[in-house]
C-alpha cells in the first residue's frame, strides 16, 4: 500500500497495491513462475487483454505494469471515450517516445468499443508506439476484434476467494479505515462482496462513514443489516457466483422452461446484475439456441435491449422479462451455431484453396481475358431462380454439409426447401 495516498482518498485508492507483492488474489497469474509475473520480470511489456469479473484487479495490474516499466500510463474508458481519446493517446505516446519513454494505453471495458474503434489501435500496437492493455468482463472471443485479439495475450482473472477478501478487510483495519467488525457481520460482508474487491471496499467505506456518524465502536451484524438493509438480504446465502446464475438462466431458456428462466432472470436483477449484460446474453441465446427455427427471436432480443436503453430500470426490465419468456418458449435450433463452428474448424485446418474462375469478379478487360467469371450462371435467369447443378465450392473439394436444419419451427420449411434444391442438383449430375 502506498503511504502517499492521502487519508481523504477513497478507501479503494488508499489500499491499491503499489507492488506485485501487495496484490491479493490472482496468484495463478502473478505467483512465482506464473505468466504475468514472468512478463513483469522480463523487462519487456507486451499487449494483453485482462478478462475477468468486476473488482478482480484488472486496473491495478495494468497500473503496476506501467510502474514496472517506468511507462507513461494513459487510461481510456470505452464507455465514455471515442476516437478522439484514441487520437489524443497516440499524440501523447508520440511525445513520450520522442523522450525515450514507453507508453501503456489502458482501455477499460474494451468490449464497449465498436470494431472501427478497436481497429484504430492496430497500427500503433504493431509499430510499437505503445503497449495496449484492455480490460473486459465479457468473453474477448466474442467482444474483441480478432485482429486485435491476435496481437494480445489473454489473461483470465478469477473472482477473489473468501480468504482473499478477508485479507482486504484486515488491511483496511490495519490503517484504521473501519472499526472492528463482528464475525457474523464479516461473514455477511464477504458473502455480499461475492469475489468483488471493489464492492467490498465501497461497502466498508459506507459502513465506516455511518459508524463514525453514530460513534459506533464496532460493526455488528444487526447494525449492518439495518444500515444496508435490502442489499444485504440478497446475499444471505452468499453462494451463487454471478456466472453460475447467468448459466442457469441460459440453460433454462435452452431447456424451454419459461418459469425457471424468469426465476433466474429475477435472481440476477435482485443480485445487482446490470440489465444491459443480461440483454446482451439474451441476444446471444437468440442466435445460438433458437437461430433460424424462429428468426424473430433475435429481433425481439434486440428490441428488448433497445427498450431498456430508453426506459432504464425498472420500466425497461419488463421488456427484458418478455424477451426471456419468448426465448424460452420459442422452437430451438443450434444448427447455424454448429454449422458456423464446423466451417471455422474446416477453414482453420484446410489449405487456402483458390476461388474457382467462374465465381471470380471480372471488373477489368484483363480479368475477363483470363477467364474470370466465365461460364458463371446467373441464378435469377434460371428456372425457379436456381442454377441446378452449379457448384460454389473450390475445385477438387468435396462439398461439406455444415448446415443441418432441425425439424422444429421455421427450419422445418428450410429443410424441405434444401431437400428440393439438392434433388434438383442431383438431377443435373
Query: What would the pLDDT profile of 42-62 be if each residue is shown by its tens digit?
Result: 888 899 999 988 889 999 999
**Overall average pLDDT of the 390-396 stretch:** 82
Average pLDDT, whole number, for the chain? 87
Pull the grid cell for residue 424: 434438383
Residue 193 near residue 165, CB atoms below 8 Å: yes
| 223-234 pLDDT tens trace | 888 887 756 655
- Per-residue pLDDT at 74: 94
Examine the pLDDT at 71 and tell me if it is beyond 70: yes
Examine the pLDDT at 237 and tell me if it is beyond 50: no
Q: Which of 165, 164, 198, 166 is nearest to 60 (CA)?
A: 198
- Per-residue pLDDT at 221: 86
**Overall average pLDDT of the 89-104 stretch:** 94
Q: Structure pTM?
A: 0.56
Amino acid at each position: 500500500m502506498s503511504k502517499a495516498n492521502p487519508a481523504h482518498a477513497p478507501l479503494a485508492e488508499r489500499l491499491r497495491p503499489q507492488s506485485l507483492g501487495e496484490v491479493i488474489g490472482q496468484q495463478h497469474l502473478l505467483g512465482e513462475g506464473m505468466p504475468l509475473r514472468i512478463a513483469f520480470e522480463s523487462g519487456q511489456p507486451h499487449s494483453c487483454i485482462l478478462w475477468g469479473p468486476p473488482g478482480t484487479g484488472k486496473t491495478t495490474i495494468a497500473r503496476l505494469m506501467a510502474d514496472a516499466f517506468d511507462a507513461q500510463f494513459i487510461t481510456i474508458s470505452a464507455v465514455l471515450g471515442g476516437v478522439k481519446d484514441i487520437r489524443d493517446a497516440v499524440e501523447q505516446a508520440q511525445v513520450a517516445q520522442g523522450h525515450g519513454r514507453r507508453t501503456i494505453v489502458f482501455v477499460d471495458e474494451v468490449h464497449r468499443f465498436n470494431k472501427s474503434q478497436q481497429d484504430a489501435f492496430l497500427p500503433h500496437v504493431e509499430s510499437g508506439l505503445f503497449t495496449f492493455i484492455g480490460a473486459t468482463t465479457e468473453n474477448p472471443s466474442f467482444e474483441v476484434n480478432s485482429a486485435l485479439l491476435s496481437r494480445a495475450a489473454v489473461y483470465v482473472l478469477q473472482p477473489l476467494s473468501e480468504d482473499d477478501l478477508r485479507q482486504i478487510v484486515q488491511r483496511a483495519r490495519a490503517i484504521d479505515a473501519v472499526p472492528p467488525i463482528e464475525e457474523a457481520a464479516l461473514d455477511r460482508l464477504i458473502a455480499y462482496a461475492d469475489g468483488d474487491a471493489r464492492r467490498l471496499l465501497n461497502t466498508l467505506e459506507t459502513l465506516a462513514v455511518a459508524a463514525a456518524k453514530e460513534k459506533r465502536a464496532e460493526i455488528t451484524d444487526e447494525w449492518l443489516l439495518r444500515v444496508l438493509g435490502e442489499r444485504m438480504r440478497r446475499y444471505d446465502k452468499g453462494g451463487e457466483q454471478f456466472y453460475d446464475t447467468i448459466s442457469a438462466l441460459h440453460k433454462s431458456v435452452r431447456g424451454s422452461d419459461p418459469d425457471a428462466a424468469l426465476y433466474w432472470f429475477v435472481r440476477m436483477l435482485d443480485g445487482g446484475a446490470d440489465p444491459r449484460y443480461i440483454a446482451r446474453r439474451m441476444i446471444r441465446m437468440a442466435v445460438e439456441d433458437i437461430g433460424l427455427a424462429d428468426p424473430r427471436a433475435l429481433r425481439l432480443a434486440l428490441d428488448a435491449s433497445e427498450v431498456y436503453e430508453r426506459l432504464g430500470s425498472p420500466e425497461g426490465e419488463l421488456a427484458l422479462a418478455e424477451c426471456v419468456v419468448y426465448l424460452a418458449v420459442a422452437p430451438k435450433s443450434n444448427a447455424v451455431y454448429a454449422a458456423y463452428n464446423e466451417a471455422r474448424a474446416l477453414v482453420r485446418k484446410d489449405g487456402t484453396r483458390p476461388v474457382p474462375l467462374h465465381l471470380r469478379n471480372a471488373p477489368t478487360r484483363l480479368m475477363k481475358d483470363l477467364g474470370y467469371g466465365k461460364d458463371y450462371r446467373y441464378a435469377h435467369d434460371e428456372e425457379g431462380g436456381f442454377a441446378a447443378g452449379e457448384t460454389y465450392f473450390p475445385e477438387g473439394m468435396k462439398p461439406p454439409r455444415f448446415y443441418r436444419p432441425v425439424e422444429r419451427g421455421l427450419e422445418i420449411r428450410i429443410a424441405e426447401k434444401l431437400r428440393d434444391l439438392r434433388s434438383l442438383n442431383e438431377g443435373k449430375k
